[in-house]
Amino acid sequence: LKGGIVDFNPCLKHKLIRKTVREFAENEIRPIAAEIDHNARFPEEIMQKMRGLNYFGLQAPREMGGAGLDSISYAIVVEELSRVAAGVGLCITVHNSVAVYPLLQFGTPEQKKRLLPGLISGERIGAFCLTEANAGSDAGGVETLALKQEDGYVINGAKIFVTNGGVCGLALIFAVTDPDKRGRQASVLIVEKEREGFQRGRDRGP
C-alpha cells in the first residue's frame, strides 16, 4: 500500500526474479520448446538443470532446502516458464502447488520428514491424481476405492489427465475410503512409485 492505494508495480525483488527466470527460459527451454511439444517428450535434461536451481521447492522453506518464495514470486516463475513452454510451467506448478504444498500444510511430521526432501530436491516429481473417466469437475464422483487392510490400504482404480503422471515419483491419489458412509467418504493417499501394483501411464511429455 502507498498512501492508501494498492501499488501493483512489482518491487525490485520481483523484477529480478522475472529477469532471472526469463533468461533461463529463453536460453535453456526456448531452443527445444517446439520439439518437446511436437514429440510429447518429457525434457529430463532441462529438469536436471531446474533441480539444481530449486524449481522443485519454490515455496518450501529455506531450512528444508526450498527457495522460500512468496506467492507473487512463485506466480512470476510459473508465468515466465509458461510464456516459453506451457508444459514445463504446468509440470512445475503441479509439483509445487498440489504435491509439495499439501504435504507441507497437512502432512504428518513423519510424512514430511520422509517425503519432502525428495520432492523439494526434485528427485521425485509429484503428481495429483483426482480425475477419472467418470469424475472431472465433480470430484465427488470418484470411483477409485481404497479399502483398509490390516497393514494399510489396497487401492483399486485408474486416473486420467494426470500432469507428471508418466514421470512421477510420488502420487497423491483421491480415493473413496468408506463407500457406505453418506457422501462416500474420500481421502487422499500418498503413494510412492515403488509400491506394488502402482503403474504410471506412458510419459506423454510435460
Ligand X SMILES: Cc1cc2nc3c(=O)[nH]c(=O)nc-3n(C[C@H](O)[C@H](O)[C@H](O)COP(=O)(O)OP(=O)(O)OC[C@H]3O[C@@H](n4cnc5c(N)ncnc54)[C@H](O)[C@@H]3O)c2cc1C
Residue whose CB is less far from ligand X, 17 or 95: 95
Q: Is 162 in the site for ligand X (CB under 6 A)?
A: yes
Residue whose CB is less far from ligand X, 9 or 137: 137
Residue whose CB is less far from ligand X, 66 or 165: 165
In the set 163, 175, 176, 186, which binds ligand X (CB under 6 A)? 163
Instruction: Classify 194 as helix, strand or coil.
Output: coil
Quote the CA–CA distance of 78 and 18 in Å, as a whole number. Answer: 10
Residue 108 Cβ vs ligand X, minimum distance, rounded to whole Å: 23
Q: Is 81 in the site for ligand X (CB under 6 A)?
A: no
Q: Is 129 in the site for ligand X (CB under 6 A)?
A: yes
Q: Is 130 in the site for ligand X (CB under 6 A)?
A: yes
Contacts of residue 191, defined as CB under 8 A and 6 or more positions apart, other chains included, come to 155, 170, 171, 172, 173, 198
Residue 36 Cβ vs ligand X, minimum distance, rounded to whole Å: 15
Dihedral sign from CA coordinates of 37, 168, 155, 109: negative
Q: Which residue matches cell numbers 536436471?
A: 48
Label residue 184 left, alpha or beta by phi (over 0 means left) and psi (-120 to 50 means alpha): left
Binding residues for ligand X, per CB under 6 A? 90, 94, 128-131, 136-137, 161-163
